[in-house]
Amino acid sequence: MAGDLYHNFAMPEDVDANGSVTPIDALIAINRINQSVAGQSIAPSSNFEMVMADVNADESISPLDALAVIDILNSRSVNGQTGSLASRVQPERRIERIQRAVEANALPPGWTIDKAQAILETLRVGGRPELGDRVVNGSLRWISDEPKLFEDSAQVPEREAIHIESFIAAVSERLAAFNVSSEVIVDISKFIRDGFSAGTPVDPSQVRERLADMGVDVDTIMPQPRTDIVPVEPEDPVAEQILVTKTILESIVARLQYAGAASEVIDAIKEECLDAIDGGAPLALEQVQERLGQLGFFRDTFNAVPPPVRPAPEQEPRKEHRDDRSERPEPPIVAAVMVTQTVADSLLLRLAESGVSDEILAILKREIFDAIAIDRPLSLLHVHIRLRELGG
């Protein structure tokens, strides 16, 4: 995993991690791709230190990352959406990516293991952290709890009306985040209001049933609040633990050195971890963090420190001929990703895996390779627009 290539656990398409998805995210991803094509590495002190350009969670940078951002931006534009949108990256891929990052102790700068685990837990039970979903006391929540919302409130009808409108707004925003049609949103809002007016308010389960009858994937969009999630206490021996292997130990030592930990602390931790590994019983990461606290280096400090960005293995040899422009690839003149043979093969494969029809794929393939044959390859944005025109 490249030291300067991260995935935004909370919202994959938010490349610059500023809390929202904007055209700037697409531009940053494209620039990052161009730098990769040109063989340029990113210095630790550059503005790209916080860039999270691995949008599709495959631990690499490719045109597909920029395409994922462009796709969500176009969807917002077409539907006139102004609020939050659900990420298009499959939850399963996000879960795998976070697990690997936690196991390798390779979290993005500023992220703690506790924060990553909270996102992971939400995704595992069907929640969407980018929409504010969270697990509270072992229960998945995607709307605020309103214990009196569906009780008999005949004595305070004005208050109940406010609750109903709040509930309608929450449901509408949720459906819009998944690009559910405005017709469905209008219908379900009327369904809720009609029930209130008739004196028989509908509850969330009835809303789910109504939406399911209308063809909405309610299991994905409106996960049921769950109470069967058993919270894992730190002392629970059944809890899944991250064992400190030699690879993870190297990362821990690098973080400690970066944070300016005393050499005595580093040597002590290294010796204890190696003894445990050699003895066939490696320590858990939690144990190492506790031991650091005993040695005067506290857990919060350790988690908040970003690992040093190591230079790419090929960086030094390039210095020998850095001034010889004839021997290094020139970066693209414009911030556009061109669909070459290699990019086309990868792109068409991903489109096929995502369910695009054979007819549409055949048209795209012909147009892409015809353009390549005359040495005028299409841009990734052009292909994306064409895909939309074909109904893909």
The 3-state secondary structure of the chain reads: CCCCCCCCCCCCCCCCCCCCCCHHHHHHHHHHHHHHHCCCCCCCCCHHHHCCCCCCCCCCCCHHHHHHHHHHHHHHHHHCCCCCCCCCCCHHHHHHHHHHHHHCCCCCCCCCHHHHHHHHHHHHCCCCHHHCCEEECCEEECCCCCCCCCCCCCCCHHHHHHHHHHHHHHHHHHHHHCCCCHHHHHHHHHHHHHHHHCCCCCCHHHHHHHHHHCCCCHHHHCCCCCCCCCCCCCCCCCCCCCECCHHHHHHHHHHHHHCCCCHHHHHHHHHHHHHHHHCCCCCEHHHHHHHHHHCCCCHHHHHHCCCCCCCCCCHHHHHCCCCCHHHCCCCCCCCCCECCHHHHHHHHHHHHHCCCCHHHHHHHHHHHHHHHHCCCCCEHHHHHHHHHHCCC
What's the pLDDT band for 80 if we cut at 50, 70, 90? Answer: low
Give the pLDDT score at 38. 59
pLDDT tens digits for 142-197? 765 444 444 444 445 666 777 788 889 889 989 999 989 999 999 999 999 998 88
Cβ neighbours of residue 316 closer than 8 Å, sequence gap 6 or more: none
pLDDT tens digits for 12-70? 999 988 888 888 888 888 888 887 765 555 443 344 446 788 999 988 888 899 899 99
Give the pLDDT score at 156. 53
Q: CA-to-CA distance for 113 and 319, rounded, in angstroms?
A: 37
Give the pLDDT score at 346. 72
Q: CA-to-CA distance for 249 and 255, rounded, in angstroms?
A: 10
Residue that wins the pLDDT comparison between 235 and 273: 273
Contact assessment for residue 185 and residue 175, using Cβ atoms and an 8 Å cutoff: yes
Task: Determine what percent of the chain is predicted with pLDDT higher than 70.
Answer: 74
Mean pLDDT of 64-90: 83
Q: CA-to-CA distance for 350 and 358, rounded, in angstroms?
A: 13
Rg (CA), the chain: 25
Contact assessment for residue 17 and residue 8, using Cβ atoms and an 8 Å cutoff: yes
Task: Determine what percent of the chain is predicted with pLDDT higher than 90.
Answer: 19
**Side-chain half-sphere of 371: how many Cα atoms within 13 Å?**
17
Angle ∠(12,15,19) on CA atoms, nearest 5? 80
pLDDT tens digits for 234-272? 444 344 467 888 878 887 887 787 777 788 888 998 999
What's the pLDDT band for 327 if we cut at 50, 70, 90? Answer: very low
Give the pLDDT score at 217. 92
**Cα–chain-centroid distance for residue 292?**
30
Give the pLDDT score at 333. 34
Angle ∠(140,144,147) on CA atoms, nearest 5? 100
Task: Say yes or no to pLDDT of 366 above 50.
Answer: yes
pLDDT tens digits for 292-302? 878 877 544 45
Task: Say yes or no to pLDDT of 233 above 50.
Answer: no
Cβ neighbours of residue 257 closer than 8 Å, sequence gap 6 or more: 266, 308
What's the mean pLDDT when you consider all of the chain? Answer: 76
Mean pLDDT of 83-103: 90
> Token pair of 316, please?
């030094």
Task: Say yes or no to pLDDT of 312 above 80.
Answer: no
**Cα separation values, 136 from 122, 144, 217, 263, Å:** 10, 11, 24, 41
Q: Is 138 left (phi over 0), alpha (psi -120 to 50) or beta?
A: left
What are the boundaries of each domain within the chain? 23-130, 157-221, 246-304, 341-389
Task: Say yes or no to pLDDT of 356 above 90.
Answer: no
Contacts 24+ apart (CB under 8 A), 104-107: 104/1, 104/247, 104/248, 104/251, 105/242, 105/248, 105/251, 105/252, 105/255, 105/285, 105/307, 106/1, 106/251, 106/307, 107/303
Task: Say yes or no to pLDDT of 141 above 90.
Answer: no
> Token pair of 142, please?
């995607």
Burial of residue 367 (number of CB atoms within 10 Å: 0-12, 13-18, 19+):
middle
